[in-house]
Chain A
Amino acid sequence: MKLASLEYLEEVKRRSNADPQYLELAKGNNESYTLVLEAEPAKGVNETVVIGFDNVDGKMNEVWVGRRPTQFTLTAPYGVWVDILRGKIGATQAIASRKLKTQGPFLQLLQGANRIIRWVEILRTIPTEFEGDYAQYNLPGA
């Protein structure tokens, strides 16, 4: 599945909502998120992709491709998202080092660190195709 496609997002939702550990960590969470994967034309990623989702009591509810108002917006070059999914950099470290720019209540985001770490672990299990030069790092899934 192509990273950040609607098909991919639906799979993220399916796997997340089926993961007891994630659901326990996310319980009570009603936040909405926009993720911006910025273009890197020099690496063959020609277009910025904007996706989003919202949670209802911890469960991923609606997922979408495109721009909507959300509580949080996380923005990074495409390659940073790839690095996070490959495990080359942790999500918390990406936020702390500002490689992943955040807009929204920063403290609230950090307090959900355990949930985010588990969520990224789930994402790493999804067969994922990357764009451009990053295709060499495609994830086989589990």
Chain B
Amino acid sequence: MRAAVFRGIGQIEVTDVPTPEPGPGEVLIRVAYCGICGSDLEAFLTGMYEPGLIIGHEFAGTIAAVGPDVSLWRVGDPVVVGDLIPCWQCRSCRNGFPDACESIYMVGVTHDGGMAEYVKVPAVGLHRLPEGVSLRQGALVEPLSVALHGVRRSRLRPGDRALVMGAGTIGLLTLQCARLAGARTLIVTEVDPPRAALASRLGATAVLDPVRENLSVALSDLTDGLGPDIIFVCAGAPEPFAEAISLVRKGGQVFLLGLPIQPVETDFFSVVMGEICIDGSFAGRAETAAAIDFIAQGRVDVESLISHEIPLDEGVAEWFSRLTAPGSGAVKVLVKISGDS
């Protein structure tokens, strides 16, 4: 089968690899679509995946085969996979914190992923897509679960004024989740004009360009001089992580969803003096079912985020280079594999 294989820093190769066979408790999925995620790009830049790994953790497809001891799933079922599959046996799992599992299984991160014609996964990680949710939309369930997990873990309360820094996929989904959670004012910062326009269309009260605007002054105007109650940092660049602490209101929260690939200097003096809470989260395992429901109900728009669709055999490596350079203009790039609907 064809698959996108991580070879090391700056190297992705689409090549022939053996088609996996599902073992006990596993299923084989015929992949329809797989998204290129920000963390895949960061691995491309830093080398944080094991060389030889088939990448891809944002994918949807149909079950092509079931292994022994799998009874709840049938060939043809449309499915997605939760991004983090806990072992349920380690101390963290037994203590009720499976997201801190000491032996995690992450398809496309610790084990071969879905940017391939087929992928085998543990059946325990599967979620069925209902009628009305296409496989194309299903490829965005994982990033939506990440955004939803962040908003649910945050201190956001109905009536709060929130700022989302960065209007990439996670930022735009966080924007929509924060709106669903009752934020009354939703401000977005974004430098890329197409992304900024999309943020406005998806419900942002105001969109600010951090290169052209004085954010402190603009946010003061938009929040009665207080600053946002909560800031979601959904960027990869280091600047927003440092700026957020000076922009949030005293007693507010800075919630980190982006992964900065450079160290960030932090003004902890302001954190102490402002009694600012800093928190963060990654992955969205527990929110996968809710994410599917939100898409099924039409309460979160994922289609608008799909800016490009490319075939597996044409230009995947080039897109990794393009997406790691500034100003790509892309939001979510989907790799079309079987293209099943």
Q: A-side interface residues toward B, CB under 8 Å?
A: 90, 92-93, 96-99, 101, 105, 107-108, 110-111, 113-114, 117
Contact = CB atoms under 8 A, between A and B. Distances in A.
Given A101-B102, A105-B263, A113-B46, A96 B51 contact: no
B103 interface: yes
Interface residues of B, number: 21
Nearest to B102: A98
A96 B49 contact: yes
A139 B281 CA distance: 40
A107 B262 CA distance: 8
Interface stretch (B104-112, B126-134, B245-253): B104-112
A109 to B, nearest CB: 9
Contacts of A99: 102-103
B338 to A, nearest CB: 28
30 contacts: A90-B50, A90-B51, A92-B47, A92-B49, A92-B50, A92-B51, A93-B53, A93-B110, A96-B48, A96-B50, A96-B109, A96-B110, A97-B110, A98-B102, A99-B102, A99-B103, A105-B263, A107-B260, A107-B261, A107-B263, A110-B46, A110-B48, A111-B47, A111-B48, A113-B47, A113-B48, A114-B8, A114-B9, A114-B47, A117-B51
Nearest to A97: B110
B101 interface: yes
Contact of B101 (A92, A98, A105, A111): A98
A113 B9 contact: yes
A108 B47 CA distance: 11
Interface-centre pick from B48, B106, B109 (highest chain A CB count, 10 A): B48
5 A-B pairs with the lowest CB-CB distances in the bound complex, closest first: A113-B47, A110-B48, A90-B50, A97-B110, A93-B50
